[in-house]
Chains A and B, each alone.
Chain A
Amino acid sequence: MYLNQFLFLAAFLFCVGVYGVLARKNAVLVLMSIELILNAVNINLVAFGAFHDTVAGQVFALFVIAVAAAEVGVGLAIVLLMYRNRHSIDLAEADLLKG
């Protein structure tokens, strides 16, 4: 089995995710990009687990998925409140912490 293909896929997904987080204005898309990053990591974990013939990688990936679900729940709630208060989910406008 070739580990490289999985690692390349994961790296590609990771880069797409980072680009999404940094470049997108839409808060929901940023959340989705974070999911991409997490899933890129998951692919890595499962791939290395299969490579070393253990289930540890899969178990770890399951944990990551569970935590990601919680993170999305909180994140979407924030986005919802942001929309209610400002009628916009543009991250560029949410700069109240500007020094």
Chain B
Amino acid sequence: MLRNAWVIPLVPVASFWLILFFGKKLPKKGAEIGILALLLSLGLSLAVATQWIGTEGTVPVAHHGADAGHGAPAKDDHGAPAEDDHGKPAADAHGGEAQGGDEELKRAPVERKFLWWQNGDVEVTFGSLIDGLSVAILVMVSIISLLVHLFSMAYMHGDRRFTHYYAALSLFTSGMFILVVAPSTLQMILGWEMMGLCSFMLIGHWWEDQANSNAALKAFFTTRTGDIGLLVGVSMLFFLAGQSFDVMHINNEALAGHMSQGALTVAAAALLLAVIGKSAQFPLHTWLPDAMAGPTPVSAMIHAATMVVAGVFLIARLYGVFFQGFEIGAGDGYSPVAMVGGLTILIAAALAFVQADIKKVLAYSTVSQLGYMVMALGVGAWTAAVFHVVTHAFFKAGLFLGAGSVAHSGSHHSFDMKKDMGGLKKHMPITFWTFTICSLALAGVFPLAGFWSKDEILLGAGEGGYDAFMYIGLLGAFMTAAYMTRCVYLTFFGEARGAAAHHHPHESPKLITVPLIILATLAVVTGFLNAPGVLKFTEWFEPAFVSNVVTHHDFSITTAIIGSIAGAAGIAVAALYYWRNLGPHRLTERSGAARGVYRFLDQRYYLDHLYTGVIVNGIKGPVARAAYWTNQHVLDGIVNAAGITMRALGRFIYKYIDQGLIDGTVNGAGVGAEESGTALRTIQTGRVQNYAAVLFGAVAVIGLTLVLTSG
């Protein structure tokens, strides 16, 4: 199965076409095909995971434990010696160096490639690359996508484009699968762009509403801005790696120091731009909150399993490029990747406080959590980042589906926490408990999943020489806990308001609650995978090429306690503010400065004004006018002049060449044929005997000639 993992993306692709062609005729309008396909994908992914875990490790890696104690182990180990790595993978070089020392065996990645097309010596392949990273993400994506498919059956019931919705959902999942198993950067681009397209279709699912349609366009164009970086980065890596699209080859070449450092940094920066667009990092994060215009299960997909995870996955997959390009291992406290992530954590978390829409709170929370993942990758905590991707996927999907459940049965399709919710706890117990568990997991409360992964990120930042980012992470943890408490309070506690009071809220049907319960359970248990002493996640899912360069830190009880205190403090502050009514209420009405801050946050730092008002309108206004003037005067002048010249030329040609020369020739040929025909017809008497006479005469002449010449 490890070698046949390439079929996993094909299952949802097949389901896409089947739903499109036959969906409308089926009793469940195509939903059953999507669910069966995802069940099959999940089964295959689990088979892959089981086999992967059962595989013996064969690749020796140098073990960078925290006890090794050297500041920048990765760079020191493989930066300098150029003579011992003649085209050998970095892993070999390390195995040799680490002889006799602390060393462990990692599973070798399993690659399967088929030739797609060939151009000279350049072979473009598709297929599958199975290593720890792809196994972990495959399983995670299959689970989330399956639950979203199930949830949508109830949530989207009776929708006018139900079948198309399921088709797009299948294609969306296959896009992620294609990206996850990609052995070549080109296949990554394919999956990446498929997701861009599907997110556009799904966000704009209810396109009759202008706002939804605008949100879809915004998501598409904003991510496209980043995609320019992806194309540039992939092209640069293609040449830097000696004309190769092969992911593992690129990683090994980058880590072995075979690439020019300057060019590698530029390529990594270009790829970082792609990540900023796709994973909604500051300053291109503005599309993600607007993407809430789509159906809620789609938001769960986009935020947990696909789309935004793709950016983080890109860094994790091409980690060699980022690690070497930005010199992450140096531990000098400065790394562009970590800075982007850290900035995003705080900026998005602050925005989450002023949202009235429950989905927007969750959206900014996703942006903030993605910031954690990117920051973790930026400080060298690869495993922590990927672990956080997985744990975050479960509780964030649970939160989004929970919000969907509230809107479906509690607040009459409204997402406004302040107007239409409140007091839903007693009406929707299952939704309340699952939502709360997922919120606690997100807030990083011991012993839920978020605690373990966030703790690892803080640990990685603190021990890896990036102290500033650890403090940012702690502040982020505090803010996360506080805004999630606010969100839970406004939704489930207090007075029932608006629709929640007047529309008889009730618990959602089983198709909605069962996925919620599964996700809440996963949000509780996933964290223990990598709890200290277990560390199965690291053992199973950390690829060899990463293990070679990153440093592992032992669990630190101090960091755990400080992290927990930050989270608990956040919860406590928010709880006191809302339940006990303590703290500065109505501050915005009393203080001008506070009102200013609120307004600044409410307007999302004026970034949207900058993008649409300044950049887009700037282009639309003067630039468009200048282009119009140029068009009218310069281009049209050229075109008109060309036209007049051509007309004169045409007239000349008609008169002299066409009428004189060509017609003359044609007529001449006709007349000549007629005249010669008239001349020749006289000998065509039609009398047999005349022809016979000519025949005999000719034979006589030929015979005479033969007699005379043979003489």
Enumerate chain A interface residues (CB-CB to B < 8 A).
18, 21-23, 30, 91-92, 94-99
CB pair B692 A21 closer than 8 Å: yes
Question: In whole Å, how far is B193's beta carbon from the nearest beta carbon of chain A?
Answer: 75
Complex Cα distance, B573 from A42, in Å, reads 134
Tell me which residues across on chain B come within 8 A of A95, comparing CB atoms: 685-687
Collect the chain A residues with CB atoms within 8 Å of residue B688's CB.
Answer: 30, 91, 94
Instruction: Write out, one digit per residue, whether chain B residues 672-691 have a CB within 8 A of any chain A CB (1) or not (0).
Output: 00000000111111111100
> Known contacts being A91-B687, A95-B686, is A22 close to B681, with CB within 8 Å?
no
CA of A97 to CA of B680, assembled, Å: 14
Of B681, B682, B688, B692, chain A has the most CB atoms within 10 Å of the CB of B688
Contact check, B686 vs A98: say whether CB atoms are below 8 A apart. yes
CB-CB < 8 A to B689: which residues of A?
Answer: 21-23, 30, 91-92
B687 touches A22 (CB 8 A): no
CB distance from A92 to the nearest CB of B (A): 6
Cα(A63)–Cα(B177), bound, Å = 86
- B interface residues with partner A (beta carbon < 8 Å): 680-689, 692-693, 696
- Contact of B685 with A98 in the complex, beta carbons under 8 Å: yes
In contact, A97 and B693 (Cβ under 8 angstroms): no
The 30 listed contacts between A and B (C-beta, < 8 Å) are: A18-B696, A21-B692, A22-B692, A22-B693, A22-B696, A23-B689, A30-B689, A91-B687, A91-B688, A91-B689, A92-B687, A92-B689, A94-B686, A94-B687, A94-B688, A95-B685, A95-B686, A95-B687, A96-B686, A97-B684, A97-B686, A98-B686, A98-B687, A99-B680, A99-B681, A99-B682, A99-B683, A99-B684, A99-B685, A99-B686
Q: In whole Å, how far is B679's beta carbon from the nearest beta carbon of chain A?
A: 11
Given contacts A23-B689, A94-B686, list 4 more A-B pairs with CB under 8 A. Answer: A21-B689, A21-B696, A98-B685, A99-B682
CB neighbours of A23 from chain B (8 A):
689
Chain B residue nearest in CB terms to A99 = B684
Bound-state Cα–Cα, A78 to B129, Å: 87
How far is the CB of A85 from the nearest CB of chain B, in Å? 16
CB contacts (< 8 Å) of B693 on chain A: these are: 22
Q: Which of A30, A96, A98 has the most CB of B within 10 A?
A: A98
Chain B residues lying within 8 Å of A99, measured Cβ to Cβ, are 680-686
CA of A97 to CA of B683, assembled, Å: 11
Closest B residue to A93 using CB positions = B687
Q: How far is the CB of A18 from chain B (nearest CB, A)?
A: 6
Closest residue of A by beta carbon distance from B693: A22
In the assembled complex, which residues on chain B have CB atoms less than 8 Å from the CB atom of A98?
Answer: 684-687
Assembly CA distance A22 to B697 (angstroms): 11
Contacts of B683 in A (CB 8 A): 99
- For residue B685, which residues in chain A have a CB less than 8 angstroms away from its CB? 95, 98-99
* Chain A residues, Cβ within 8 Å of B696: 18, 21-22
- Bound-state CA distance A98–B690 (Å) is 11
- Give the CA-CA distance A22 to B689 in the complex, in Å: 5
**Roughly how many angstroms separate A92 CA and B685 CA in the complex, as a whole number?**
10
- Tell me, in angstroms, the Cα distance from A30 to B693 when the chains sit together: 13
3 smallest A-B Cβ distances: which pairs? A99-B684, A98-B686, A95-B686
Bound CA span A77–B294, Å: 93
Residues in A neighbouring B681, C-beta threshold 8 A: 99
Question: Nearest CB to that of B700 among chain A residues?
Answer: A18
Find chain A residues with CB under 8 A from B680 CB.
Answer: 99
A30 to B681, CA, bound (A): 26
Which of A30, A94, A99 has the most chain B CB atoms inside 10 A of its CB?
Answer: A99
A34 to chain B, nearest CB (A): 10
When distances are taken between beta carbons in the complex, the residues of chain B under 8 Å from A97 are 684, 686
In the complex the two chains form, what is the Cα distance from A23 to B696 in whole Å? 13
Report the Cα distance A30→B691, complex, angstroms. 14
Chain B residues, CB < 8 A from A18? 696
Docked pose: A92 CA to B690 CA in angstroms? 10
Alpha-carbon separation in the docked complex, A5 to B689 (Å): 30
Measured CB to CB, the nearest residue on chain B to A34 is B692
Question: Residue on A with the closest CB to B687?
Answer: A95
Determine how close the nearest CB of chain B comes to the CB of A76; give it in whole angstroms: 16
Complex alpha-carbon distance, A18 and B699, angstroms: 12
